[in-house]
Chains A and B, each alone.
Chain A
């Protein structure tokens, strides 16, 4: 259940940035989740919805963007998007689309990134 600790860390990050920027309200939050993280976006969204109650984030639109997997193949030197031979991200097995080997280095797909937020603030407040 590490969605809870991750969601908690995300909320703290966003609140910290929102407060430093004198936000009166947070309108949108965009989070990038790599397809290879052991995080279930639906569970994450549920927990975020619970954790933001009675905070500046309550009511904000939550965008969860899944980041596809990218690889460097150690067999044929292919670089780019990977083949995922299973649609369930928990069971994702990564292979090279060029040579089919699974001896690959994963270069993207493990993100858990609080990307940006859209906030409302008083006109005239200086940007932090």
Chain B
């Protein structure tokens, strides 16, 4: 004889990831490491911005370089003689808390005070996965089109800092950079939005001071 039974499971995969993210943040806090999850589209300038911040910020910086194939970005960071871990996601489109926890094991957290976690270039999938970072910095560029914010609202809604990069070429690509700022503010009224150009240096001091302000709180 067979019988039918209902079994309650209530296992939320998002909650499981969030719990791991909470553990990650505790590991970082215990080591006095402030962490920035750097999200953004492919080609928006995430890697170049982190390279610039490594050179300009007076901190002991480490980087987790997440990508489908991470060795290219990791190689760029390694030339600055800082701790770097490449995280290959393979076919996956985002980092998750479990992957990041593994990367901690390969980082000298005690000798780092600022950790950048470069997420996979993607404005959609990483939104769902907290990593345990202290802030989320979203980097987009004008060359992706000035409707980028409208088309990807959730990543901006969940951002702590937004960088609109490559504004020096806004006219050349026909993008209205002020519209992009306004679109972010509609979704996330209190978030700091910084227009930047790594070519001209515009906005870099503001990005640095914003990150340092977060670090103090």
CB distance B14 to A2 under 8 Å? no
Contact for B13 among A4, A36, A94, A112, CB less than 8 A: A112
Name A14's contact: one of B9, B94, B127, B128 (CB within 8 Å): B9
Q: Looking across the interface, which residue of chain B has its beta carbon closest to that of A36? A: B154
Given contacts A5-B92, A6-B13, A115-B10, contact A27 B128 (CB under 8 A): no
Greatest chain A CB density within 10 A among B3, B10, B13, B128 is at B13
**A2–B125 touching, CB < 8 Å:** yes
Cα-based distance from A25 to B214 in the complex (angstroms) = 52
In the complex, which of the residues B1, B8, B12, B190 contacts A112, with contact meaning CB atoms closer than 8 Å? B12
Query: Measured between C-beta atoms, what is the minimum distance from B3 to chain A in Å?
Result: 5
Interface size class of B (residues with CB under 8 A): 20 to 34
**Are the CB atoms of A120 and B4 closer together than 8 Å?**
yes
Contact A127 B3 (CB under 8 A): no
| A52 at the binding interface (Cβ < 8 Å) | no
Contact: B14 with A37, CB < 8 Å? yes
Chain A neighbourhood of B6, CB < 8 A: 116-119
**A93 beta carbon closer than 8 Å to chain B:** yes
Closest Cβ neighbor of A14 among chain B residues: B9
Which of B11, B14, B153 touches A110 (beta carbons < 8 Å)?
B14
Task: Considering the complex, give the chain B residue whose CB is closest to the CB of A128.
Answer: B7
Collect the chain B residues with CB atoms within 8 Å of residue A27's CB. Answer: 4
Total contacting residues, chain A, CB less than 8 A: 42
A1-27 to B contact mask, C-beta < 8 Å, 1/0: 110111001100110011001001001
Given A38-B125, A114-B13 in contact, is the A121-B154 Cβ separation under 8 Å?
no
With a cutoff of 8 Å between Cβ atoms, the chain A residues found around residue B181 in the complex are: none
Complex alpha-carbon distance, A119 and B9, angstroms = 12
**Cβ contact within 8 Å between A119 and B91:** no
What would be 10 A-B contacts, judged by CB atoms less than 8 Å apart? Answer: A2-B125, A4-B92, A6-B13, A13-B11, A92-B154, A93-B153, A114-B9, A116-B7, A120-B5, A123-B1
Chain B residues packing against A (C-beta within 8 Å):
1-15, 91-94, 96, 124-125, 127-128, 151, 153-154, 157, 186-187, 189-190
- Additional A-B contacts beyond A2-B93, A118-B7, A122-B1 (20; CB < 8 A): A5-B92, A17-B7, A21-B5, A38-B127, A38-B154, A91-B153, A92-B153, A92-B154, A102-B187, A103-B190, A112-B14, A112-B128, A114-B9, A114-B11, A115-B10, A116-B7, A117-B7, A121-B2, A123-B1, A123-B3
